[in-house]
Structure 1
């Protein structure tokens, strides 16, 4: 199948904003894919990716190397390509221009196929060691040498992760269901259990509803985490839970999912990225502490400070990001793993098992030690006991409590009321940067105010809920400008529209109803807290979530009165 056909799909997707039309375009394309190997490749390419997020392979190609490859392939000066970006605002467009103006072509060139593009990019990702940059350069130059302008444009965007066609996970799920006439809920379930669109697409086409209904947990493929809503207090949580609940400490750490298969251990972040290599000491502890040969467990990694007090979760993210001098970081930021759920043990899928039984199973398979623990908990019907436990958790330096229904099954990817969070303050929000403004004076060369968006499933877009400009250091603004510049879609005066890729955590005084923003809500006095590299835009808070928090806020106000 020619890569040009995929490039044409990208072009059509980019030209329409209608979600229904985008879904039909993707569905029609998927129907045309006959090759089984391509069925597993194409869904991720449609998303503008080469690998699933949980695959630890990375292309490791920046703008400079890509420009150098295009210059080598076309004979066009690299400086001309760089200057062109200032006019086009998009390196993909500039690559297309360079390919139009090229001074040289390969004598033995052949049209690009999707398989050739994919296999070359795999080679790029797997090229390491001495001389790896030169080898990557040659692989990429060979692709661009045979690329037509439209192919070069989208190939460049794929390599840099800036596709901009408006296709997110939800749209792809709908397109798979439409293409192969299968039930959307079965596509959703299969994806939640495997986080693998390639696998799900292949099953949907070849085996239909029957095949999708049989999809189950697989070690090595992360499961979308079950999520929680907020409760105003422990009494409200107990009522919601039916009068009795399991309360456990809510740790201020980073949620992880651990897959153990004999001596092989893989650890995924909340975003389902493979972080195993960055925390080798945790891997070794898990091998000794988790008794079954095969298991999938969930927990919270907490950075431990002086006296065993927890440190903010950003310390754990620093560990995840570190690729070099890891031993030094092990000593600087020791990590403690607090396990709270088990989903799979030695061939037994436990997600449909009631929580109270999963908890007992978890306690039976973990050898607790200084660094691997089972989350401290309390099962009670008494609001007074729960309140006492809540204050104990806060006094220990933790965030608060989780409340869980004793009979709740594990619902991958669902944010329901079977799990509730109880904290002393309103929940911070994780929102996506969708726009920004250039600063003034000494900040004239950096982006200094950011428009925040929440996902609206009804329209498939991110809708604005406010601007944040406080909480950033000068160093933060320099880093955010570097990060966001390649994602700029349009500029109008000082304002720039940003591709929704970057998630940040913000705190705020309250949520207000507002006619100013399309969302209908506005954050009062929002303040930047942290960059959430552990979350993708799909994991950020939705418009529905903000509406729920607004209602919770009003209930809390009424309770105080």
Structure 2
């Protein structure tokens, strides 16, 4: 299949308003893919590259060659070219990668170049999310959409499910089951702005979990073999020996646990989030292989054996955690679990929450359980929320006790509530967008006022929360304020104030102030405020200190 056809489909989906019409467009494209093109082609239609790391950043997408006059690229050819780029390493890496990238873009037409830029930058926002692709796969393969969605939840990989559906139909999709050793997409929580709003969604009585300020982990155990996966299904087993040790100390022989791992200080309060994140960072981690069979218990045997991390003497879970972590010389990560998906041959995905949680309590025990409270009123839930915040945690997750584990879905069965921080900051520069945002100034460089110098301290960047209307407005506005129009970054006079919402402040060596915002997003522009009225770097640091000690 010509790559231009996928680019044309992507462009058509972007401007097509109706969901059914989008599904039809995507289904036609999926049917036209050759069998060996399905993994890459389905990923491209979802805005994803099959290769998770390519080594190509924003700088690599500048100074691209002129587009080719005629299309010659195929989907398979593009996939092979990107695979070659991703595989480059050793001496002369940058030059060789530039050469290969240049050759790929030189062979691409203007429309194909636009899609490639979107894929490499991760900004191919065409409205084709995984749910839409799931329906398109079902349409293309003539199978029930529910069968595709279920397989997608269990496999956690749209490309793998597309191959199964388009080559094996409903029979191949039915083979996707929970298999110990193969991670599945985690159940997600939708957000609420208040405890009242959360309980309106879930109803009462309900259950409130503490939302730890850690990283999501999914742990699979089969006998002496344990594998630990991150929220994005990367395997991080070798980086978290204390998690392995904690699960080794449990009596069950086969289990799949869902939880969080977190770094704590000597008093039991959470350490800064980036300490947890850096311990579990996926340097050297491997993405599970995408195949219909997935990664089974047999595949686990060669990774981390529980016996390899056995402490010198039998111990309960908490000492086992400390003993294993002591061998690394790094920050200790303590695991806490809030759900159980499989136990000794029994799948629990479809069981109501109260049954899963009862089984979890019996299999794990209190020391490794996330704090959980049953509540019947808003006042009780609010008290649990306040207690979680007082302990330095992120907030709470309100959960419906009757709900099954909806892998990969974000619904009203789980609703998270976190405190919301906002600051009025000043825009220091703006980056040109790519993909759907090509031609618009998109990514904002945010600064806090420094009262000591009269200048501004950069805290990070964001393009989140920007509507098309805001993009158009801010492009005009910042071109008016421009003092240096670079090809990638436009530096502006520090005059425009913008209200930014964020989840927290973390230590950062990347920025001169030593701190950065977490998950920053635009709320609104503040034309009623001057830059002299913007929040200060001292206010930002106060939030950071409060996060660690209050």
Shorter chain as denominator, the TM-score bin is: 0.5 to 0.7
Match of 2:159 among 168, 190, 198: 198
CA distance in structure 1 between the aligned counterparts of 2:378 and 2:242, rounded to whole angstroms: 36
Q: Give the match for residue 93 of structure 2.
A: 132
Match of 1:494 among 469, 477, 483: 477
Q: Give the match for residue 302 of structure 1.
A: 262
Cα distance per residue 1:355-380 (max 9 Å; x no partner):
333234334544887xxx22244568
Q: Give the match for residue 39 of structure 1.
A: 38
Secondary structure at the residue paired with 2:138? helix
CA distance in structure 1 between the aligned counterparts of 2:379 and 2:345, rounded to whole angstroms: 41
CA distance in structure 2 between the aligned counterparts of 1:133 and 1:235, rounded to whole angstroms: 49
Q: Give the match for residue 288 of structure 1.
A: 248
Residue 312 of structure 1 and its aligned partner are, at CA, apart by 5.3
Secondary structure at the residue paired with 1:165? coil
Check if 1:13 corresponds to 2:13.
yes
Check if 1:168 corresponds to 2:129.
yes
CA distance in structure 2 between the aligned counterparts of 1:391 and 1:221, rounded to whole angstroms: 33
Q: Using a 3 Å threshold, how does the CA distance of structure 1 residues 291 and 531 change in structure 2: closer, same or farther?
A: farther
Contact 1:43 1:198 in 2 (8 A): yes
Residue 527 of structure 1 and its aligned partner are, at CA, apart by 3.7
Matches within 5 A, 1:442-521: 445-446=429-430, 474-477=456-459, 479-480=461-462, 492-494=475-477
Q: Give the match for residue 350 of structure 2.
A: 352
Q: Using a 3 Å threshold, how does the CA distance of structure 1 residues 20 and 254 change in structure 2: closer, same or farther?
A: same
Contact 1:124 1:139 in 2 (8 A): yes
Check if 1:60 corresponds to 2:55.
yes
CA distance in structure 2 between the aligned counterparts of 1:417 and 1:17, rounded to whole angstroms: 26
Contact 2:219 2:228 in 1 (8 A): yes
Residue 276 of structure 1 and its aligned partner are, at CA, apart by 1.8
Q: Give the match for residue 215 of structure 2.
A: 254
Q: Give the match for residue 457 of structure 1.
A: none
Q: Give the match for residue 30 of structure 1.
A: 30
CA distance in structure 2 between the aligned counterparts of 1:119 and 1:336, rounded to whole angstroms: 41
Check if 1:240 corresponds to 2:203.
yes
Cα distance per residue 1:263-315 (max 9 Å; x no partner):
4523212xx25272794344543563456565321112223124121245455
CA-atom RMSD in angstroms: 5.0
CA distance in structure 2 between the aligned counterparts of 1:321 and 1:235, rounded to whole angstroms: 32
Residue 28 of structure 1 and its aligned partner are, at CA, apart by 0.9
Contact 1:48 1:163 in 2 (8 A): yes
Contact 1:250 1:402 in 2 (8 A): yes
Residue 46 of structure 1 and its aligned partner are, at CA, apart by 1.2
Q: What TM-score, normalized to structure 2?
A: 0.62
Cα distance per residue 1:120-165 (max 9 Å; x no partner):
3223324444443344334434434544444334233322323243
Q: Using a 3 Å threshold, how does the CA distance of structure 1 residues 30 and 418 change in structure 2: closer, same or farther?
A: closer
Q: Using a 3 Å threshold, how does the CA distance of structure 1 residues 121 and 493 change in structure 2: closer, same or farther?
A: same
Q: Give the match for residue 222 of structure 1.
A: 184
Q: Give the match for residue 150 of structure 2.
A: 189
Match of 1:528 among 463, 486, 502: 502
Q: Which runs of 5+ in 1 are unaligned?
A: 68-80, 82-93, 103-109, 432-436, 448-466, 497-523, 542-561
Contact 2:138 2:144 in 1 (8 A): yes
Secondary structure at the residue paired with 1:99? coil
Q: Give the match for residue 118 of structure 1.
A: 79
Cα distance per residue 1:423-468 (max 9 Å; x no partner):
xxx645799xxxxx996xxx55358xxxxxxxxxxxxxxxxxxx99
Residue 185 of structure 1 and its aligned partner are, at CA, apart by 3.0
CA distance in structure 1 between the aligned counterparts of 2:520 and 2:407, rounded to whole angstroms: 16
Contact 1:265 1:287 in 2 (8 A): no
Residue 350 of structure 1 and its aligned partner are, at CA, apart by 1.6
Contact 1:471 1:529 in 2 (8 A): no
Q: Give the match for residue 49 of structure 2.
A: 50
Contact 1:193 1:224 in 2 (8 A): no
CA distance in structure 2 between the aligned counterparts of 1:420 and 1:479, rounded to whole angstroms: 27
Cα distance per residue 1:444-499 (max 9 Å; x no partner):
5358xxxxxxxxxxxxxxxxxxx9989799554554489x9xxx976641169xxx
CA distance in structure 2 between the aligned counterparts of 1:162 and 1:427, rounded to whole angstroms: 27
CA distance in structure 1 between the aligned counterparts of 2:99 and 2:446, rounded to whole angstroms: 43
Q: Give the match for residue 513 of structure 1.
A: none
Q: Using a 3 Å threshold, how does the CA distance of structure 1 residues 5 and 336 change in structure 2: closer, same or farther?
A: same
Secondary structure at the residue paired with 2:429? coil
Secondary structure at the residue paired with 2:230? strand
Residue 29 of structure 1 and its aligned partner are, at CA, apart by 0.7
CA distance in structure 2 between the aligned counterparts of 1:133 and 1:31, rounded to whole angstroms: 37
CA distance in structure 1 between the aligned counterparts of 2:169 and 2:36, rounded to whole angstroms: 17
CA distance in structure 2 between the aligned counterparts of 1:536 and 1:478, rounded to whole angstroms: 8
